[in-house]
Amino acid sequence: MDAQPLYRRWADHYLRAIKAGSLSQGDRMPSVRGLMRLHGVSLSTAIQVCRQLESEGWLEARPRTGYFVRQPRRLPIAPVDEPNVSALPDPAQYVGIHARVSTFIAKGRQYPITTNLAAARGAPELYPEEKLKNAALRILRRDSRLLVRAPSHSGSTAFRTVLAMRAVSIGLAIGPEDVLVTHGATEALNLALRAVAQPGDTIAVESPTFYGLLQILESLSLRALEIPTSPQTGISIEALELAVQTYDNIKAVVVVPHLQNPLGSIMPDAHKMRLAQLCEERGIPLIEDDTYGDLAESKIPLTAIKAWDRSGNVIYCASLHKVLAPGMRLGWMTAGRLQARVEMLKFAQTRQNEEWSQITAAEFMGLSAYDRHLRRLRSLLRTQRERTAEAIATYFPPGVRLSRPEGGVTLWIELPNKLSSEKLFDAALQEGILIAPGSMFSNSNRFEHFCRINCGLPYSKDLDHALLRLGQTVAQCLRT
């Protein structure tokens, strides 16, 4: 006789079905009456099967409709490691990140991609399309002259005013005239770096860091000095201190204080303050890239490092591309004592931004609808991140480790057994899945067994299945 109680046997039966994917996320369990009929069990056994699977996190009850398959929220999965901060950072290396990134992109184009997990941005349906459209229509009807007159210098006043007003909540006391509108944070970072550094100079960056930043550095002939960075608290201030003592040609420090890309870390205020002080003392301009601040799950808005800036040493850069509208390329910056210089460089680089997107954004951002949108966006992204994390914990072989960022659109994954993420990249392509391998995020080879996964897509059966196949692909790569 089987020692297991009856309900457990049937619960296991359904568990296998879930793990094998024949019952997948969102699928409905047979009803209690259905279970009684199908397996010839009693009412109480049928109920116990469902309750047991629910308590283990495999099912969820929906009032008046029954039980549905879900993944457990808190599966045991280890967080990614803290870096070793006592070792001296590698001297800057110029290793052709452009070529590397291009290779990945070119490869990606050769295959029919059905699931793009390489981006770091929400799907279109996460953004307020209808409201933005209405704002845009209103503006065109009201002031179509903006199509044929030269745009205002440094940006539209309406837009700069909204940005300056909103910046109060992150601790910045600035006026519209302190805001320079740019083509995304990308242009802001370009201008900031060009304002402070000459070709050949060294820039301290987080490690790992956003590959776009490494591309910018490379394209400006700047050298990246990678500073160890914690998945929890961001750049290591100790390691940075060591670095500035050792290298005397560091011309700027670039950090993403909130939801660092790819780690997802958030710098504690105490770190921000120390960082601002350290840079000021050393006379090293600090470039703060706050692209993701509005996606952080925090009761109150996170304070910018620039709030601790007393001498105009911090260049603050931000973007609406990921929080308001991926179809608009709106970014902005406020550069302290370098404001005039970045304005000049902006003028020489691309002239003023067009006005219509700026005014459309200003129109929408002036409404309470904008804050409602941000709350909704954060909540959708949380669900998507959690479900993706659960899928990874469930479908990936043991040994996988995961970041657990408090907000944002991506997860950072450490692959088991130091599996090469480039190998995984190639194998996943065959499955129509695009991932961002760790080697895109550093000029070193420290992150080759990591990858970044986008959580911007609404969770669906297809996505779940893709993550299952990705997990299976990891397993396969480990075997071969």
Ligand X SMILES: Cc1ncc(COP(=O)(O)O)c(C=O)c1O
Q: In the complex, which residues of this chain contact ligand X (CB under 6 A)?
A: 120, 184-186, 210, 212, 256, 261, 289, 291, 319, 321, 331, 351
Q: How far is the CB of 311 from its own copies (least distance, A)?
A: 23
Alpha helices, DSSP H, located in 144-209 = 157-167, 184-196
Q: In which region does residue 72 sit, left (phi positive, over 0), alpha (psi from -120 to 50) or beta (all else)?
A: beta
- Out of 16, 62, 133, 376, the only residue in the binding site for its own copies (CB under 8 A) is 133
175 is a site residue for its own copies (CB under 8 A): no
Contacts of 305 (CB under 8 A, 6+ apart): 255, 257, 267, 272, 275, 276, 286, 288, 314, 316
User: CB-hemisphere CA count at 13 Å for 80?
Assistant: 28
**Three-state DSSP class for 62?**
strand
| 146 is a contact residue toward its own copies (CB under 8 A) | yes
Count the site residues for its own copies by CB under 8 A: 59
**Collapsing DSSP states into helix, strand and coil, what is residue 188?**
helix
- Tell me how far CA of residue 122 lies from CA of 150, 220, 434, in angstroms: 32, 29, 16
Label residues 460-480 b or e (16+ Cβ within 10 Å = b): eeebbbbbbbbbbbbbebeee
Of these partners, its own copies, ligand X, none, which one is at the site of residue 355 (CB under 5 to 8 Å by kind)? Answer: its own copies
What values do phi and psi take at 473, rounded to 5?
Answer: -65, -40
Closest approach, Cβ 277 to ligand X, in A, equals: 23
Q: CB-wise, 24 or 261, nearer to ligand X?
A: 261
Q: With binding defined as CB under 8 A, does residue 149 bind its own copies?
A: yes
Q: Is 351 in the site for its own copies (CB under 8 A)?
A: yes
Q: Show the CA angle centred on residue 234, arms to residues 437 and 321, nearest 5°.
A: 65
* Cβ count within 10 A of residue 101: 18
Residue closer to ligand X, measured from CB, 30 or 184:
184
Candidate segments 26-34, 134-142, 167-175, 439-447, binder of its own copies by CB under 8 A = 134-142
Among ligand X, its own copies, none, the one that 319 touches (CB under a kind-dependent 5 to 8 A) is ligand X
Q: What share of the chain is helix, strand, coil (3-state, %, to 5)?
A: 50, 15, 35
Which residue of the chain is nearest ligand X when measured via CB?
A: 184
Task: Report the residue from 194, 223, 306, 385 that binds its own copies according to the rule CB under 8 A.
Answer: 194
Residue whose structure tokens are 């002036």: 366
Query: Of its own copies, ligand X, none, which one sits near residue 283, judging by CB under 5 to 8 A according to partner kind?
Result: none
Distance from the first to the final alpha carbon of the chain: 41
87 is an interface residue for its own copies by CB under 8 A: no
| One character per residue 88-107, x = contact with its own copies (rule: CB under 8 A) | ----------x---x-----
Q: Which of 132, 415, 433, 440 contacts its own copies by CB under 8 A?
A: 132
Q: Is 344 in the site for its own copies (CB under 8 A)?
A: yes
Which residue ranges make up the site for its own copies (CB under 8 A)?
Answer: 98, 102, 119, 121, 124-130, 132-133, 136-137, 140-141, 144-151, 183-184, 186-187, 190, 194, 198-199, 212, 215-216, 218-219, 221, 325-329, 340, 344-345, 347-357, 360
